[in-house]
Amino acid sequence: MSHSQSPAGPPQGWVARVVETFLSARYSILFMILASLLGFWGVQATPREEEPQIVVPMADVMVQAPGASAQEVEKLVATPLERLLWQIDGVEHVYSMSRPGLAMVTVRFFVGQDRERSLVKLYNKISMSVDQVPGLVRGWVVKPMEIDDVPILNLTLYSGRYDDHALRRIGEEVLSRLAEVPDISRTAVVGGRGREVRVELDPGRLAGVGLSPLAVRQALVGADQSVQAGQFSQADRSISLTSDGFLTSAAEVRHLVVGVYQGRPVYLRDVAEIRDGPAEALSYTRLRHSQRYAADHGLTEPPDGYPAVTLALAKKKGTNAVTVADNVLARLEQIKAEIIPAGVEVAVTRNNGRTAQDKSDELIHELVFAVLTVVVLMALTLGWREALIVALSVPLSFALALFVNHLLGYTINRVTMFALILSLGLVVDDPIINVDNIQRHILMGKLKPAQATLAAVSEVLPPVIMSTLAIMVAFLPLFFITGMMGPYMAPMAANVPLTVGFSLVCSLTVVPWLCYLLLKGLAPKEGPTAGQAQHDPTPEWIRRGYRRVVEPFMASRGRRWLLAGGILLGLLGCVALVAGRQVPVKMLPFDNKSELQLVIDLPAGSTLEATDRTVRDFERYLAQVPEVTETISYSGLASPMDFNGLVRHYYLRQGGNVADIRINLVPKERRRQQSHEIALRLRDGLTAIAARHGANLKIVEVAPGPPVLSTLVAEVYGPPDLAYGQLLDSAAGLRGVMAGQPLL
């Protein structure tokens, strides 16, 4: 970057040649048009999501061992399978859960491993070891999980007229049509009772005709089958024979012959009551509005809320969450009059497309506000022309960065937008330095405006290049963060260096041309003569204020040492705040979401009714909270999976002693407290309800970063011959120690 300077003209070198090319050939106009078009295309083509795409190769291996106890499943199935999966290269964690008749082993590969290759290795390893499978194993299934399996849209159907059985049937019809929307992947209906044909045997009538329940069951199993009987040829045609005997209605079940007594056929209706209706209740799902929300909207709902079912819809990988969610909601409006009867309401209880759009719009508004702030300051200090130059160059840097962001496969998410806002303070440095120096050289009048522009850029560009490279080097280590935080922060590691790099390109091309175009008219008509003072373009109030601040320290060594000591003391004071725990230290700040989750576990063996009574107490308490709009409770099953529960496996929770409550809050602009503060405020009341029912309660907030097992995870180990009960006792003691620690 060295250059030679002669008295006859401006400095010459590669920097000056590049700048001169764009000054003379008007390439800057083409560059600005191209950058704007590429940026516009990048913004339109890049998918928008709330969270960055995190590729976590992970799979659950579920093994069925009917009749085996939990200890037998652990010793004979889970432990050997753990050792087997540990042999696969690239595996980071293997952990298992054993219960009567079932083992689930979760294998997690290192972040960054190719997902398809990891799953192929997993399948191959299991297939190669089929000969080692114990005889008690009756089957297994491998279920891969990824972030795109998380539903982006939850639609809750509730009604005061229809029960959960009718709502589920309506929901299934609605979901079958919503699944036709392009870019929809996994779908599910959560809650409600399905349809079943129930056969209730009468022991007295069975005995009267000499039949046993086992004989009736065998007759039902044999009748509910379809058999390919074969084929024959006739008249030069091949005809297939099938026996289609599937039972399709309660009437067919009633007329089924299950035996013969005294030479007469015995029909199933003779020995049993057959009912076509809802299945037995294995779960309860409800929606309940808060008292304030119901009063504001004039609702008079039942005291215990409405029965409800939830439709969960996920999107395909690489698609735009905003577009997919909008298309689903538009399709829902079309089919409401066709399928959803009067008396059934639909509440959008999760819309990640809307939250992604809101987050993106919010960050874009902040970005525009920050740019306008810089422009206003430039206009006050240098002038409106100079401010206009910066206002035109900064968006070009962002446009090119977003275009390359799309080429790299990143989405527009909150981390990407945060990186752009962070880089704004770095991006404006290069054009401001160039504009200020070019203005100074032009107003001095020593050279013609074109030559003054070349001289000004050549003068300051070496330090500008060095500062840009220093910024890139400072952010490149983010690429080497391990764990799930690595891909989560990858958009920041890419976009900050990209933005400052393109800012440097603009400083070589667009900024000098715009400065020459807008400032050449400000040059003195004649250059300064001998003995004439050069014109200083800096406003007088800036020079006067700068002298008042700096001159006292320049004039006194004692003041300089005092300033250095004050800076050092301030730095030590900031460190002391952290060391003294006066300022909490976190990886990422809390996000102000509009939802919370309660994960409730009652003691093992608790009935579904006992769990539901506990849930109703929580609902009554939450209905009094003014920030709550509604709660959606799931007793006996898990709520639809979210970003946080992906790794924690909340979606596998099932049984009479478990429950989830989803809490929706009013939008953040309509409440004073953030969601984290609301969770802390409600903790004592919710904990008291849990203690009264002997329940284990977790208040779960949406993770501000990548999903983790928990904030703090402790694992308890012991020798192989240690009884499992002793491990549980040790874990309980450790839990008591941890529970006694203060909340920070």
For the four alpha carbons of 287, 288, 293 and 294, in that order, the dihedral sign comes to positive
615 has pLDDT over 90: yes
Please report which helix (H) or strand (E) contains residue 155, including its range.
strand 153-159
Cα-atom radius of gyration of the chain, to the nearest Å? Answer: 35
Q: 165, 174, 153, 156: which is closest to 341 by C-alpha?
A: 174
The per-residue pLDDT for range 80-135, each reduced to its tens digit, is 899 899 988 888 888 888 888 899 998 988 877 788 888 898 888 888 888 888 88
Query: Based on the number of CB atoms within 10 Å of its own CB, is 142 exposed (0-12), middle (13-18) or buried (19 or more)?
Result: middle
Q: How confident is the model at residue 25 (pLDDT cuts 50, 70, 90)?
A: confident
To which residue do tokens 């992604």 refer? 356
Query: Based on the number of CB atoms within 10 Å of its own CB, is 697 exposed (0-12), middle (13-18) or buried (19 or more)?
Result: buried
What gap in Å lies between CA 538 and CA 433, rounded to an integer? 14
Q: 190, 55, 70, 84: which is closest to 142 by C-alpha?
A: 84
Q: Following CA atoms 35, 38, 41, 46 in sequence, which dihedral angle do they give, to the nearest 10 degrees?
A: -110
The residues near 157 (Cβ < 8 Å, ≥ 6 apart) are 167, 170, 171, 174, 308, 309, 310, 311, 340, 344, 345, 346
Please report which helix (H) or strand (E) contains residue 79, including its range.
helix 79-86
Q: Quick one: average pLDDT of 279-291?
A: 91
Of all residues in the chain, the percent with pLDDT exceeding 70 is 95
DSSP single-letter state for residue 694: T
Q: How confident is the model at residue 5 (pLDDT cuts 50, 70, 90)?
A: very low
Q: Quick one: average pLDDT of 154-183?
A: 92
What gap in Å lies between CA 178 and CA 180, rounded to an integer? 5
Q: Following CA atoms 519, 522, 523, 524 in sequence, which dihedral angle do they give, to the nearest 10 degrees?
A: 180
**Token pair of 58 as six digits:** 């992970």
- Secondary structure (H, E, C), 29-63: HHHHHHHHHHHHHHHHHCCECCCCCCCCCEEEEEE
The residues near 207 (Cβ < 8 Å, ≥ 6 apart) are none
Q: How confident is the model at residue 613 (pLDDT cuts 50, 70, 90)?
A: very high
pLDDT of residue 692: 93
Instruction: Give residue 637's region: left, alpha or beta (phi > 0; psi -120 to 50).
Output: beta
DSSP single-letter state for residue 525: S
Contact yes or no for 632/346 (Cβ under 8 A): no
What gap in Å lies between CA 421 and CA 333, rounded to an integer? 37
Residue length, the chain? Answer: 744
Strand partners, 41: none
Q: How confident is the model at residue 171 (pLDDT cuts 50, 70, 90)?
A: very high
The residues near 185 (Cβ < 8 Å, ≥ 6 apart) are 148, 149, 314, 315, 316, 317
Q: Quick one: average pLDDT of 261-288?
A: 87
DSSP single-letter state for residue 132: G
What gap in Å lies between CA 609 and CA 149, rounded to an integer? 31
Three-class DSSP category at 225? coil
The residues near 411 (Cβ < 8 Å, ≥ 6 apart) are 46, 47, 48, 49, 52, 53
H-state helical runs in 635-674 = 645-648
pLDDT of residue 535: 57
pLDDT of residue 623: 92
Q: Quick one: average pLDDT of 61-66?
A: 90
Q: Following CA atoms 76, 79, 84, 86 in sequence, which dihedral angle do they give, to the nearest 10 degrees?
A: 180
What gap in Å lies between CA 156 and CA 205, rounded to an integer? 45
Would the pTM of this model clear 0.95, i.e. be above it?
no
What gap in Å lies between CA 220 and CA 271, rounded to an integer? 13
Beta strand 58-64 with 102-109: parallel, antiparallel or unpaired? antiparallel
Return the amino acid letter for 727: L
Please report which helix (H) or strand (E) contains residue 171, including its range.
helix 164-178
Q: 85, 566, 165, 158: which is closest to 344 by C-alpha?
A: 158
Return the amino acid letter for 198: R
Q: How confident is the model at residue 1 (pLDDT cuts 50, 70, 90)?
A: very low
507 has pLDDT over 60: yes
pLDDT of residue 169: 92
Three-class DSSP category at 188? strand
Strand residue runs (E) in 245-357: 257-261, 264-267, 272-278, 284-289, 306-315, 344-351
Three-class DSSP category at 704? coil
The helices-and-strands tally (H runs, E runs) of the chain is 25, 19
551 has pLDDT over 80: yes
**Token pair of 468 as six digits:** 């840009």
pLDDT greater at residue 56 or residue 467: 467
**Token pair of 600 as six digits:** 């409730």
Mean pLDDT score of the chain, rounded to an integer? 84
Query: Based on the number of CB atoms within 10 Å of its own CB, is 369 exposed (0-12), middle (13-18) or buried (19 or more)?
Result: exposed
Q: How far apart are the first and last CA of the chain?
A: 53
What gap in Å lies between CA 548 and CA 357, rounded to an integer? 48
**Token pair of 442 as six digits:** 């032009």
pLDDT greater at residue 666 or residue 421: 666
pLDDT greater at residue 241 or residue 663: 663
What gap in Å lies between CA 191 and CA 170, rounded to an integer? 12
Three-class DSSP category at 299? coil
Q: Quick one: average pLDDT of 166-181?
A: 92
332 has pLDDT over 90: yes
Cα–Cα distances in Å, from 512 out to 277, 450, 507? 78, 9, 7
Phi/psi of residue 623, nearest 5 degrees: -65, -20
pLDDT of residue 173: 92
To which residue do tokens 């400000």 refer? 522
pLDDT greater at residue 283 or residue 356: 283
Strand partners, 230: 241
- Secondary structure (H, E, C), 301-318: CCCCCEEEEEEEEEECCC
Query: Based on the number of CB atoms within 10 Å of its own CB, is 730 exposed (0-12), middle (13-18) or buried (19 or more)?
Result: middle
Strand partners, 12: 4
DSSP codes, 95-115: EEEEETTEEEEEEEEPTTS-H
Q: How confident is the model at residue 534 (pLDDT cuts 50, 70, 90)?
A: low
pLDDT greater at residue 254 or residue 601: 601
Q: Quick one: average pLDDT of 145-173?
A: 89
